[in-house]
């Protein structure tokens, strides 16, 4: 039977690539994000493969999250797969110089937003005693790097929530797992550096970073395992990267 996947952060990067691979593999797709124009364009593109619906909301706005999910038409109301992907880093500053606005954004989006979306979707999975939640963490969920302070803290929280969800939802047969990528060439660094494209490009200079498609491919692999196999926690880096701070560049 065709499964329905709900993907947050589908306007760009990992979320967009995941929507494309799942659409080609017979999933119905619910695309989420704030940029309506991108969601509409992607919906039009993917409609050649599958049924697609999009929801425009900011994951920080809990009322909007719950209203958007409650508004899903019948054909999309049963969510089999939740990809908690929306998130970003804002800034890369030592703790003493960090901006409170950046801290609020990361905590509100990466932690609270993930919780709001999960809270709105988990009850139907619990009732059906089935479902699969994939939380996108980061290597920053596993180690802290200089100036990464609050971003790393939010991703450590995602790691903890992933473990907690897996324990609490175990009784209901719901799969929960996290994928923790190292550096992936997406719009991530443009957002982190607030549109400074040179600084963003430098992050991926002199080596072959992961691409969004690499992570999407892994997400599809994780989803396509038999029911008794749950990939609970997976760290993936480009070959040139050995840790958050060790990258072999030309
Ligand atoms: P992108 O910047 O390319 O994509 C981020 C996505 O998150 C966009 O679709 C954006 O949509 C969405 N998003 C951001 N803020 C909000 C918000 N307030 N409400 C709703 N949606 C929001 O980055 P990536 O694809 O790289 O990032 C995806 C995930 O992967 C993030 O959780 C990130 O932390 C994680 N990650 C990324 C790595 C990397 O090196 N790129 C490595 C490890 C983890 P819109 O702006 O339209 O709302
Ligand atoms: C994104 C990768 O190295 O900036 O999570 O933490 S990194």
For the stretch 198-213, pLDDT in tens is 999 999 999 999 999 9
Per-residue 3-state assignment (H helix, E strand, C coil) for 31-85: EEECCHHHHHHHHHHHCCCCCEEEEECCCCCHHHHHHHHHCCCHHHCCCCEEEEC
Decide: residue 231, CB within 10 A, 0-12 exposed, 13-18 middle, 19+ buried: middle
Residue 18 vs residues 9, 187, 194, 233: alpha-carbon distances, Å: 10, 15, 24, 18
Q: Phi/psi of residue 181, each to 5°?
A: -80, 150
Mutate to test the pocket of ligand 1, among 8, 186, 189 (most ligand atoms within 8 A of CB): 186
How many angstroms separate the alpha carbon of residue 188 from the centre of ligand 1? Answer: 6
Check whether 1 has a pLDDT greater than 90. Answer: no
Nearest alpha carbon to residue 117 among 163, 46, 167, 65: 65
Averaged over 179-183, what is the pLDDT? 99
Report how far residue 31's alpha carbon sits from residue 54's, in angstroms, rounded to the nearest whole number: 5
Task: Look at residue 248 and tell me whether its pLDDT is greater than 90.
Answer: yes
Q: Calculate how far, in angstroms, residue 61's C-alpha sits from the geometric centre of ligand 2.
A: 25
pLDDT in tens, 159-171: 999 999 999 999 9
Q: d(Cα 27, Cα 2) in Å, to the nearest integer?
A: 6
CB contact at 8 A, 19 and 7: yes
Instruction: Enumerate domains of the chain plus CATH numbers.
Output: 4-236 (3.40.50.720)
pLDDT of residue 158: 99
3-class DSSP assignment, residue 240:
coil
Mean pLDDT of the chain: 98
DSSP 111-142: IIIHHHHHHHHHHHHHHHT--EEEEE--GGGT
pLDDT tens-digit readout, 125-142: 999 999 999 999 999 999
Q: Whose CA is nearest to atom 4 of ligand 2?
A: 183
Find out whether 152 and 201 touch, Cβ atoms under 8 Å.
no
- CA neighbor of 193 nearest in space, from 184, 202, 180: 202
Does residue 151 carry a catalytic annotation?
yes
Give residue-wise pLDDT tens across range 3-54: 999 999 999 999 999 999 999 999 999 999 999 999 999 999 999 999 999 9
Averaged pLDDT, 66-76: 98
pLDDT > 70 in the chain, percent? 100
Average pLDDT on 75-103 reads: 98
- pTM to 2 decimals? 0.99
Q: Residues 27, 116, 151, 204: which is the catalytic one? A: 151
């Amino acid at each position: 039977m065709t499964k329905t996947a709900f993907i947050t952060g589908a306007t760009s990067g990992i979320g967009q690539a995941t929507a494309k691979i799942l659409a080609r593999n017979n999933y119905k797709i619910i695309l989420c994000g704030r940029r309506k124009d991108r969601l509409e364009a992607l919906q039009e593109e993917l409609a050649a493969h599958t049924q697609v619906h999009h929801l425009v909301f900011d994951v920080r706005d809990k009322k909007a999250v719950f209203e958007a999910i409650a508004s899903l038409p019948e054909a999309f109301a049963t969510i089999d797969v939740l990809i908690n992907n929306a998130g970003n880093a804002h800034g890369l500053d030592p703790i003493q110089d960090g901006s409170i606005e950046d801290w609020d954004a990361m905590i509100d989006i990466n932690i609270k937003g993930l919780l709001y979306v999960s809270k709105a979707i988990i009850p139907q999975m619990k009732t059906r005693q089935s479902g699969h939640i994939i939380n996108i963490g980061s290597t920053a969920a596993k180690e802290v790097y200089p100036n990464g302070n609050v971003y790393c803290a939010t991703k450590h929280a995602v790691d903890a929530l992933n473990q907690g969800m897996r324990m609490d939802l175990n009784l209901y047969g719901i799969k929960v797992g996290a994928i923790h990528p190292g550096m992936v060439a997406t719009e991530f660094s443009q957002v982190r550096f607030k549109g400074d494209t040179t600084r963003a490009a430098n992050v991926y200079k002199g080596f072959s970073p992961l691409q969004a498609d690499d992570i999407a491919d892994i997400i599809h692999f994780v989803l396509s395992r038999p029911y008794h196999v749950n990939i609970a926690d997976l760290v993936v880096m480009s070959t040139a990267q050995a840790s958050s701070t060790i990258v072999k560049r030309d």
